[in-house]
Amino acid sequence: MTRGREAVGAGGLEAFLAANGRALLRLAYVLTGTRADAEDLLQDTLVDLHRNWGRVAASQTPYAYARRALVNRHTSNRRKKSASERPIAPQAVPDPGRPDETGRVDSDLALWQRLATLPPRMRQVLVLRFYEDLDDRAIADLLGIRAASVRSTAARALAILREDDQP
């Protein structure tokens, strides 16, 4: 991955995607839980990035800009879903059958199944903290919440995951 050293020069969006597209797809996959939803989320995000490419290219960290756009799009999509939607049981998450290019995530299906049971905000906080390796301030800025909320959300989410892990 080339986080921090993104290509934005002469190649523009194509060069940026060549350098960072896989990382963005993996992030989308971890947030959504399915390859199809991840591809849809990334495609919608890329349309937004293309429209605002001048702003993206001018930013100090284009990958961070793209990551924020992806998370914002995911949050927006989640808000549009039915208010009655509830997290699913780990047993209900289908077995992917065959591993795909997101092998790092597929290698631990049990963890993914537990993560998928968390509400979206908890899942976002954990993914940004442990997968994207962001600190509390960066997560707070990205999600538009306070750093203390990030810490408490992460603590509650980890407690739920540990609870599920008990015999």
Q: Quick check: 88 pLDDT over 80?
A: no
Q: Is the pLDDT reported for residue 26 higher than 50?
A: yes
**Residue 94's pLDDT band (cuts 50, 70, 90):** low
CA angle centred on 140, ends 135 and 141, rounded to 5°: 100
The pLDDT of residue 76 is: 84
What's the CA gap between 164 and 90, in Å, rounded? 10
Buried-exposed string 50-81: b where 16+ CB fall within 10 A, e elsewhere: eeeeeebbebeebbbbbbbbbbebbbebbeee
End-to-end CA distance of the chain: 37
Q: How confident is the model at residue 98 (pLDDT cuts 50, 70, 90)?
A: low
Q: What are the tens digits of pLDDT across the range 127-165?
A: 999 888 899 999 999 999 999 999 999 999 999 988 866
Q: Give percent of the chain above pLDDT 90.
A: 41
Residue 4 scores a pLDDT above 90: no
Give pLDDT tens digits for 29-62. Answer: 988 888 898 999 999 999 999 998 988 888 889 9
The pLDDT-based confidence of 5 (bands split at 50, 70, 90) is very low
Distance CA(15)–CA(1), nearest Å, equals 13
How does the average pLDDT of the chain come out, rounded? 81
- pLDDT-above-70 percentage for the chain: 73
Cα–Cα distance measured from residue 9 to residue 163, given in angstroms and rounded to the nearest whole number:
48
